[in-house]
Amino acid sequence: MSGTTMEPMSAPETSKGLASGSLGVWAIVFFVMSAAAPLTVVASGAPLTVYLAGIGGPGAMLAAGVVLMLFASGFTAMTRYVRDAGAFYAYTTEGLGAPVGSGAAALTTYGYTALLLGFYGFVAFFAQMTAADLFGIDLPWIVWAVLIAAFIGFLGYRQVDMGAKVLAVLLTAEVALLAVLSLAVLIQGSPEPLTLAPFDPSNWLTAEGAGGLFVLGFGAYIGFEGTAIYAEEARNPERTIPRATYIAIGFLGVFYAFTFYCFIAAFGMDGVVAAAQGDFESLPFVWADEYLGTLALKVLQVLIVTSFVACLIAFHNACSRYLFSQGRSGLLPAVLGKAHPKHHSPYVGSLALTALSVAALLLTQVVGWDPYLDLGLLAYGTGVVSIVAAQALCAIAVLAFFGRDRRGHSPLRVVVAPVLAVAGLVTGLYLILTNFVVVTGYTGTVNTVLMLLPAVAFASGVAWYAIRRPGSVAAAAEARAHEEDTVA
């Protein structure tokens, strides 16, 4: 399949390809951590975990991180043999065959697109509210949404390192605020004695409502798998991609656990549970105001908006590269597989995504939907299901790939860890589906449809390959192999 081989491979840059060697470890880390949007996870997730299941959020965040670290073990081992901007698609193709890989491509593309649209809904809501509250600029949410979409589209059209530089600034700001806010709690003190109760399994594994914790736990890491998407653009990808992946998961796991714990400590182990029974959504703002003052509260409001912008940059880049990979391989129209001759960006896919995003935003406005409740939460919910399912499928593909030949890797890395990852991810997917109301806030038919759409996307991808595209895919793969041989 396009971009895959059974031996260690190099990815030469051509005038038709992406910008090989343009990204280092930290640039890729910024991309994937921005997709995870740590500030928005803490600001929205920390109070919600308390509301749902008490104080077990920190433990659940660490547990989800451990599962994903196990997944990363085999996932990164494949980087040496499979290097393609359509990471899950390419890995699943190599492990489970082209039809299943085509299904994974459709599933992942659907998931990333849904998440992209959901985050546009979120950022539009918060941008309108923040601009009105802090600056007295009261514009309709659709104006902010379209302006932000234009900015995201501009960065997606340009060179990938430009987006990385923007993300570095935005991500550093949000992490710095959370770190200062958390340290303020430890320095100034909690209203109640500090304990390790949030990490006790009885509070995150067996507590009532614990399933809801893992909905948020796995959702909080979505985007980390994007490290492999940038393999074609990474410097020394055999080292860069594994390092970036482990750094991203490790940092997010520890940082989430630490900040969730400090959020709980700010109100007290018992006090936070009582506070969450009221207006739990406002608790992060109360936390900032009480421990750092009004200025920090205002900064928090602004950084929530910029955190969503950073998240949009990351998901736009990821999705445009999936479109690029599928266009190049023949699964989608070949025009999507074109890279810009100067910027080496997947500019056609980027433009298509920008157009789709603006169209969805305008439709939301025309039919009178709420950008947060109707576009944001619903698109986010179905997107989370899609990506966690794609992760589980990819973990199975890793097992199949190395099951045929371990290629010198230890059984612990390419057999044991992936088996545990499959078990953890399938369990996580089950918890997400059985607690889907936690994600969307809706019940009934709406949730059923949203949970089925990822399966429809996967089945459509398999059918598209089997019925209509095998000849085109084979021809595209042969053409690309010839192109790389010529350049090499």
**3-state SS, one letter per residue, for the chain:** CCCECCCCCCCCCCCCCCCCCCECHHHHHHHHHHHHCHHHHHHHHHHHHHHHHCCCHHHHHHHHHHHHHHHHHHHHHHHHCECCCCHHHHHHHHHHCHHHHHHHHHHHHHHHHHHHHHHHHHHHHHHHHHHHHHHCCCCCHHHHHHHHHHHHHHHHHCCHHHHHHHHHHHHHHHHHHHHHHHHHHHHHCCCCCCCCHHHCHHHHCCCCCHHHHHHHHHHCCCCHHHHHHHHHHECCHHHHHHHHHHHHHHHHHHHHHHHHHHHHHHHCCCHHHHHHCCCHHHHHHHHHHHHHCHHHHHHHHHHHHHHHHHHHHHHHHHHHHHHHHHHHHCCCCHHHHCCCCCCCCCHHHHHHHHHHHHHHHHHHHHHCCCHHHHHHHHHHHHHHHHHHHHHHHHHHHHHHHHHHCCCCCCHHHHHHHHHHHHHHHHHHHHHHHHCHHHHHCCCCHHHHHHHHHHHHHHHHHHHHHHHCCHHHHHHHHHHHHHHHHHHC
CB within 8 Å of 124: residues ≥ 6 apart:
141, 142, 144, 145, 148, 361, 371
Predicted pLDDT of residue 17:
59
- Alpha-carbon gap, residue 336 to 46, rounded angstroms: 39
Residue 317 has pLDDT above 60, yes or no: yes
Residue 484 has pLDDT above 50, yes or no: no
- Alpha-carbon gap, residue 112 to 416, rounded angstroms: 29
Q: Which of 238, 229, 254 is nearest to 394 (CA)?
A: 229
**Mean pLDDT score across all residues of the chain:** 87
Predicted pLDDT of residue 469:
56
- Identify the weakest region by mean pLDDT among 77-86, 192-201, 236-245, 293-302: 77-86
Predicted pLDDT of residue 160:
56
- Alpha-carbon gap, residue 120 to 142, rounded angstroms: 10
Contact 379, 121 (CB under 8 A): yes
pLDDT band at 8 (very low <50, low <70, confident <90, very high): very low
Amino acid identity for residue 83 in this structure: R
Residue 391 has pLDDT above 80, yes or no: yes
- Alpha-carbon gap, residue 227 to 28, rounded angstroms: 6
- What are residue 2's phi and psi, to 5 degrees? -55, 125
What are the beta bridge partners of residue 234?
23
Q: Residue written as tokens 């589980």?
A: 392
Interval 322-346 mean pLDDT: 84
- Alpha-carbon gap, residue 143 to 134, rounded angstroms: 17
Q: Which two tokens stand for residue 390?
A: 């794609």
Interval 168-177 mean pLDDT: 90
pLDDT band at 16 (very low <50, low <70, confident <90, very high): low
Condensed to tens digits (0 to 9), the pLDDT of residues 89-109 reads: 889 999 999 999 999 999 999
CATH of domain 25-477: 1.20.1740.10
